[in-house]
Amino acid sequence: MKSFVEKFKHKTKLVQFAQIGISENKQLRCLLSSLNNQSLEVEWQSSHMDLIMNGHASHIIAIDYRYIWRTVLFVPLHYSKQMCYRQVITILEQNIPLSLNDILFDYHICELPEQQAQRIAIFALRKQYAQPFLNNKNKVIIDCELHCFARGIHYLSQSHLSEFSDHFYKFKQIYFQFKQDDLLIQTTKPHSNILSAEQFQFDQQIQEPELYLCALGASLWNGKA
């Protein structure tokens, strides 16, 4: 399957874009900017360089999935937003041995009318893991690299996550799958169909395809997991 990488021009200054997705490993950093989910620009840097952020854009950082604590909670459909929030706080206090002041957390609520329930996905990150980015005065959003990677995959393949709910994603040395009540991660190759960076044909400017897909997915962040 061919990607749309030929549309993405390389520029050294990402100035006019609304969102900039950032992913990095020990050697490289990929910055990919988007405007209305359409115009995309990519830039590669050494990860040892200081990260200089654009004051006119939101920056979405793809964080290592191993740093993120997550759980899923189901509550009755009639619970108000305030009641859901109190449930989230209770779960965090019961399960994380840190003060709420020492973590960043987010949650997403999905109504399930047929089950008369609401699904709450909760995510928490120790602040110290994001501190290098939070010290910046620009708007910074933290996202899990697995969600970014999947978002990038589906953008390039012009598909939707719900169409591949039974598929696994191959990322680094793991295979993962999104479940309604969990995130399944394994190191052995599954028998199910697999989505990976290898299904695309990237041009030479894409130095690290998985890093690129994470930055792409981060740049397309829309407030949902």
Contacts of 97 (CB under 8 A, 6+ apart): none
Residue 86 lies in a domain: yes
Query: In this structure, are 121 and 138 located in the same domain?
Result: no
C-alpha to C-alpha distance for 162 and 121, rounded to whole angstroms: 17
pLDDT at site 61: 94
Query: In this structure, are 59 and 82 located in the same domain?
Result: no
Other beta carbons within 10 Å of 25: 14
pTM: 0.84
Q: How many domains does the chain have?
A: 2
Output the CA angle 14-217-85, nearest 5 degrees. 110
pLDDT at site 199: 93
- List per-residue pLDDT tens for the chain, 225 residues long: 333 333 333 433 444 558 899 999 999 999 998 776 666 789 999 988 888 777 778 899 999 999 999 999 999 999 999 999 999 999 999 999 999 999 999 999 999 999 999 999 999 999 988 887 776 667 889 999 999 999 999 999 988 877 777 899 999 999 999 987 788 999 999 998 999 999 999 988 899 999 999 999 999 998 765
Query: In this structure, are 43 and 151 located in the same domain?
Result: yes
- Strand ranges in the chain using DSSP code E only, listed in sequence order: 9-10, 19-24, 28-35, 39-46, 58-63, 68-76, 103-112, 117-126, 140-144, 168-171, 174-178, 183-186, 194-195
Query: In this structure, are 72 and 111 located in the same domain?
Result: yes
C-alpha to C-alpha distance for 215 and 152, rounded to whole angstroms: 8
pLDDT at site 109: 95
Query: In this structure, are 166 and 212 located in the same domain?
Result: yes
Give the domain-ending residue among 125, 146, 172: 125
Residue 225 lies in a domain: no
The domain that holds 139 is classified in CATH as 3.30.420
The domain that holds 87 is classified in CATH as 3.30.1490.300
Q: Which amino acid is at 92?
A: L
Query: In this structure, are 11 and 46 located in the same domain?
Result: yes
C-alpha to C-alpha distance for 76 and 65, rounded to whole angstroms: 29
Supply the range of the domain harboring residue 93: 68-125
Q: Which amino acid is at 220?
A: L
